[in-house]
Amino acid sequence: MHAETFDPVLAKQTIDTIRLLSADAVEKANSGHPGTPMEGAPLAYLIYTRHLRHNPANPDWPGRDRFILSCGHASMLLYSTLHLSGYDISLDDLKNFRQFGSKTPGHPEFGHTPGVETTTGPLGQGIAVGTGMAMGARYLQKNLDKDLFDYTVYAICSDGDVMEGVASEAASLAGHLNLGNLVYLYLDNKITIEGDTSLAFSEEVATRYLSYGWHVERVTGENLAEVDAAIERAKRDPRPSMIITRTNIGQGAPNKQGTAAAHGAPLGTDELALAKQALGFDPEQSFTVPESVYTHMAELKERGQRLEATWNQECQQKCATNTALADWCSDNELSAEQIDALLPAFEAGSSAATRSSSGQVLNALAAGLPMMLGGSADLAPSNNTHLKGEDAFTPEAAGRNIHFGIREHAMGSILNGLCHTRGLLPFGATFMIFSDYMRPPMRMAALMGIAPVYVLTHDSIGVGEDGPTHQPIEQLCGLRSVPNLTVLRPCDANETAQAWKAALINRQGPTALILTRQNLPTLDRNQYASADGVQKGAYVLAVEEGDLQLILMASGSEVQHALAARDTLQQQGVGVRVVSMPSWELFENQDSAYKEEVLPSACRARLAVEAASTFGWERYIGLDGAIVGMTGFGASAPGGQLMDHFGFTTDNVVAKAKELIG
């Protein structure tokens, strides 16, 4: 809506409608946060009506601006605004707030509610994900078309968002990169659940964001003209912008506004009635939307359809001469055949760390996949994730090599933002032990069903001299416990190539590649089964000679010991099968017949070997099996010495196997 059509009376009526729809929904659910939607209503109204380029009839239109409600507890602010703006969210959906199966869950969920760009709730994540979205837009501008992808990422955030460390990490990088397509509005209400923010928060947020290199302004949240002008200035500034809006939590609730009582609980019947009366609504009516408000907001849908039609026409015209853009527009899924054509094959007899093999595979893939980009949390030389011959992502350029800095948490969230940019194939890397720092966004990626690839190297006590602070023990089983996260721990170079293939085929969730620092032998696939078996998660690597008496199961660097132990035991007349198990998740996706083929239930003598916590292996070894694993932390010593000390040797595997079969 343009300035000449701005009607302050209609604006106030619409804003108050957003406030009361939100408060009514929280009241009906008897659960939720009414205060932040009531204070944030003017900001949401201004963004959606006067600044956001969007089409309610097609929430996924690629040329749209993005809006993130970083303070996801204020979800009713978003739902009410989306409803009035013409998105596919009905008044009944608002009435079913926080109810099972509704479009209006307690916190916004990507893929669940039309118009929700990313899942928020854990505070700070929206600020960080928006950084990734802004980087994605810049990358598309450089590689596809400057004008078509000149969109802005807006966000509303709260005190809790700016307190969380992930927001600081991401804001620091956003300022460094001059991401001028970020416009954030901060609800500075000085209230958290426990009370006034002065209980624990006295810093000057404006100064902090200025130090990050952001454009910062202060405005009064209820002054529409002032906020509107600030947003206009922010859009013109080449830096990311933080507009600090002084607001009053629970605005309109006469006895609870400005207090913690308006934060995390319904207003209560009496207070809600008083709020309606104060705002000129019937206190006896709920979920009231004046017809004038619907008429006023209907223009958004009409405008959005015009904007998208113009964008589509321009895009179609440019596709005729822009091959890269035409390929992007086709939006074809990566096929296994395309990936196979890019994958290198590794000759038997060589020896390499799987992190090194991964680097070769990654570069081979990137050469044929121009939308693949990523980097490391300051560990690219160790993670082997540098894309050779490619530029860096800098303030001046949108190259494919991203230097995230020592910011693992923000890296994970930024990867999520990049995944929200259609067509991109982002990856991020660090030492496996530091995956702990980015577990929140890894979980969020799994929840949203988006597909970043995590390259996690230095995967065990084989790290060696750095000691137990850097040696992952419980991280592997922890990652395996996350629903919809696929974990792969390959045993050699060719399994590593197949692990990358599995990661790229998997578009329904994130994938973690668990890679070694130490060298591993490249297996002779003429002697052993093809590494293609990785695609099924587990496969018979070496078959038994004679009757099956024992199954040895292993992943990663311990597969070599299982194979060597098999040779020794076979020479002693024991029929031993070796099963490589790089991915439990992929194996669990197979049918029961295949699982029985690999792990026949008749063979109860099973020994698992893995240099990590033993937790979880019980499902595969059964009541009669055993595990060679870690039950404590590591130590500081050369990696080979540690492997010997903790029993990850052929001799120990043989000894444990003999104990098992008596």
- Count of C-beta atoms within a 10 Å radius of residue 90: 12
Q: Which of 528, 553, 518, 516 is nearest to 657 (CA)?
A: 553
Pinpoint the alpha helices (H) of 520-637: 559-571, 584-588, 592-598, 618-621
- Count of C-beta atoms within a 10 Å radius of residue 623: 6
Provide the Cα torsion 416, 201, 253, 88; round to 10°: 0
Bridge partner list, 241: 183, 215
Beta-carbon contacts of residue 340 (< 8 Å; ≥ 6 apart): 501
Q: What is the DSSP pairing of strand 539-542 with strand 576-580?
A: antiparallel
b/e per residue, 284-294, with b = 16+ CB within 10 A?
A: eebeebeeebe
- Count of C-beta atoms within a 10 Å radius of residue 9: 9
The three-class DSSP label of residue 553 is strand
Which phi and psi angles does 188 have, rounded to 5°? -90, 75
Specify the DSSP element, H or E, that contains 536.
none
Question: In whole angstroms, what is the distance from residue 572 CA to residue 279 CA?
Answer: 87
DSSP assignment string, 18-86: HHHHHHHHHHHHT-S--HHHHHHHHHHHHIIIII----TT-TT-TTS-EEEESSGGGHHHHHHHHHHHT
Of the residues 39, 408, 495, 585, only one is catalytic, namely 408
Question: In whole angstroms, what is the distance from residue 65 CA to residue 153 CA?
Answer: 6
Q: What end-to-end distance do the CA atoms of the chain give, in Å?
A: 81
Please name the residue that has the structure tokens 């800098």: 394
Q: Is 408 noted as a catalytic residue in this protein?
A: yes
- Count of C-beta atoms within a 10 Å radius of residue 596: 12
Question: In whole angstroms, what is the distance from residue 550 CA to residue 132 CA?
Answer: 49
DSSP 590: S
Q: Which of 547, 556, 550 is nearest to 515 (CA)?
A: 556
Please name the residue that has the structure tokens 């608002």: 94
- R_g over Cα of the chain: 28
Q: How far is C-alpha 21 from the geometric centre of its chain's CA atoms?
A: 31
Helices (H) and strands (E) in the chain, counts: 25, 20
DSSP assignment string, 169-180: HHHHHHHHTT-T
Catalytic annotation, residues: 408
